Amino acid sequence: MRRTHMAGELRPAHAGQRVTLAGWVHRSRDHGGVIFVDLRDRAGIVQVVFHPQTSEEAFRIAETLRAEDVVYVTGTVQMRPPEMVNPKLATGEVEVFAEAVEVLNRSRTPPFVIRDEVAAGEELRLKYRYLDLRRPRMQRNLHLRHRTVKFIRDWLDARGFWEIETPILIKSTPEGARDFLVPSRLQPGKFYALPQSPQQLKQLLMVAGIDRYFQIARCFRDEDLRGDRQPEFTQLDMEMAFVDEEDVIGVNEALMVDLVRAVVPHKRIQQVPFPRLSYAEALERYGSDKPDLRFGLELVDLGHVWHQTDFRVFRAVLAEGGQVKGIRAPGLARYSRKQIDELEKLVRQWGAHGLAWVKVQEGGELQGSVARFLADGARAAFLEATQAEPGDLVLMVAGEGALVADVLGRLRLELGDRLGLRDPDVLAFAWIVDFPLFEWNEDEGRWDAMHHPFTSPKDEDLERLETDPGQVRAKAYDLVANGWELAGGSIRIHRRDVQQKVFELLNISPERAQERFGHMLEAFEYGAPPHGGIAWGLDRVVMVFADEPNIREVIAFPKTASGVDLMTGAPSEVDPEQLAELYIRVVLPEEEKATSEP
């Protein structure tokens, strides 16, 4: 190759060497007779010095260079004078004295400056994603993603896993989010679906005797988007035969520990082995099934306290089967009424009717919106339950149990941020276990699978499938960290009779089950081994490793929150001839018709 070194790799050991570099002009500075150009490539930035005494022609060309021009530079690496060393650059001890420069391509003025501290909005960044990806931050994220995937592949290969690709065009068997559908030209009126996950396929690989499978799998879900969701995403998909929950958890915990130490060694894992919490315990203590365990601030049940008082609002909630819970915020008795009102505004946005609060002052005096109701025994019970001390603020929400958990779970994270308790260099992993197998769908009056319909019930709960489905626990497990769900899996059903019973409880008739899942049911009759697995949200894992707030920052070409690719303009209309070949006619909603008509 004509290029001999990467610009960002040059160090004092290269001093005296003649090198040829290739990259982009990051910045150019004319100091009157000497031109300094920061040359950038994937490895970093190095300073190139153009001096007419070294090369008059190179100096003349350097006078024309602008940001993002693409160039070759040939020159000699020299040490910088001590007073000119730049400690902010990895290459800051050296510079290259240019002998020749060749402009490979000129650049228009970019719509935003190519640097980490960019002021451009997200829409502009996504429209010009190929420019956004030149920024060092984005390149660091993509490199981190590469190293994460490579480590996973090597680690699993060394432990007997085979990487097997599964089809992208599969049968639509809707049991979760909406499928993306693909029309078949050769089978008019019929459709493929893009896989929401390789769930059924990896189970069939276990029936096939593969024993240990993994895949870096592309998955597709037509669902509403948010910061940790995209319509297409990547999973580390894994399945093993002849295993139980402990086997799957053990392999994945060891992989995660080794992965962290290899690719983000500056981060500290808070506890190994990872702690385990039941689903019920996580909701009770943290208001979330993906709790951030880097800090305490646990939810406290205060129902027994308010039963002793005359506060009608809380007593009415408790009488209707609701809850009153609170969080002790250490040191926040200093908060002004305005600051507390800001918190109340947040909890109202999350669905609560209000926020009650009590400050504990010096000497144990209670002040606040409901403090006057806490007298005598109730006061003592309140202080004992909350463990509040002088200087603390106790915040309380009342209502239906699920709402209280959700609101206080969010408030807990808000307080963690305000108190500086969410250390980005700490990874607090935990396993969430003992999920319910089913959850009741009140709107439709039926049971839904909490995970998916192939999750196995615990052996000791099998009989409850007939008598009390709501009490059946799943052989399911989620891996969470820092308030994010990173992975989820389960031991699968491998017996046809159990699978058919679960389908029945999910209101899937035998005829419908045969139509949708007949291939699975039949496979279970040919010696299906017990098996289980897990799927990691790989985008989310890298997002947490990279300390990014959104998975779009670790995906090369993501979509917007509305599912649009601003760079290419997808989704877009297609030629009528293409639709005719697929026997498809587009029928727009009435309101869209009205706005499109002249």
State which H helix or E strand residue 72 sits in: strand 70-79
Query: Contact 301/398 with Cβ under 8 angstroms?
Result: no
Q: State the first-to-last Cα distance of the chain, in angstroms, to the nearest integer.
A: 58
- Give residue for tokens 């999750």: 455
Q: List the domains of the chain with CATH numbers.
A: 7-105 (2.40.50.140), 139-276+430-554 (3.30.930.10), 295-422 (3.30.1360.30)
Query: Contact 168/218 with Cβ under 8 angstroms?
Result: yes
Spatial distance between the Cα atoms of 309 and 207, rounded to a whole number of angstroms: 61
- Give residue for tokens 């010009």: 128
Query: Contact 256/429 with Cβ under 8 angstroms?
Result: yes
Cβ neighbors of 593 (< 8 A, separation 6 or more) are none
- Amino acid type, 145: R
Spatial distance between the Cα atoms of 305 and 387, rounded to a whole number of angstroms: 13
- Give residue for tokens 């697995």: 533
SS3 306: helix
Query: Contact 464/518 with Cβ under 8 angstroms?
Result: no
CA atoms within 13 A on the CB side of 384: 8
What digits encode the pLDDT tens for the residues 397-443? 999 999 999 999 999 999 999 999 999 999 999 999 999 999 888 88
What digits encode the pLDDT tens for the residues 295-351? 999 999 999 999 999 999 999 999 999 999 999 999 999 999 999 999 999 999 999
Spatial distance between the Cα atoms of 61 and 165, rounded to a whole number of angstroms: 51
Spatial distance between the Cα atoms of 43 and 23, rounded to a whole number of angstroms: 10
Output the six-digit token pair for 452: 């998916």
Tell me which residue of 351, 293, 373, 358 sits closest to 328, measured CA to CA: 358
pLDDT in tens, the chain (598 residues): 899 999 999 999 999 999 999 999 999 999 989 999 999 999 999 999 999 999 999 999 999 999 999 999 999 999 999 999 999 999 999 999 999 999 999 999 999 999 988 888 999 999 999 999 999 999 999 999 999 999 999 999 999 999 999 999 999 886 667 899 999 999 999 999 999 999 999 999 999 999 999 999 999 999 877 767 899 999 999 999 999 999 999 999 999 999 999 999 999 999 999 999 999 999 999 999 999 999 999 999 999 999 999 999 999 999 999 999 999 999 999 999 999 999 999 999 999 999 999 999 988 899 999 999 998 889 999 999 999 999 999 999 999 999 999 999 999 999 999 999 999 999 999 999 999 999 888 887 888 888 889 999 999 999 899 899 999 999 999 999 999 999 999 999 999 999 999 999 998 899 999 998 999 999 999 999 999 999 999 999 999 999 999 999 999 999 998 899 999 999 999 999 999 999 999 998 876 666 665 5
Spatial distance between the Cα atoms of 511 and 490, rounded to a whole number of angstroms: 26
Tell me which residue of 117, 35, 26, 38 sits closest to 69, measured CA to CA: 26
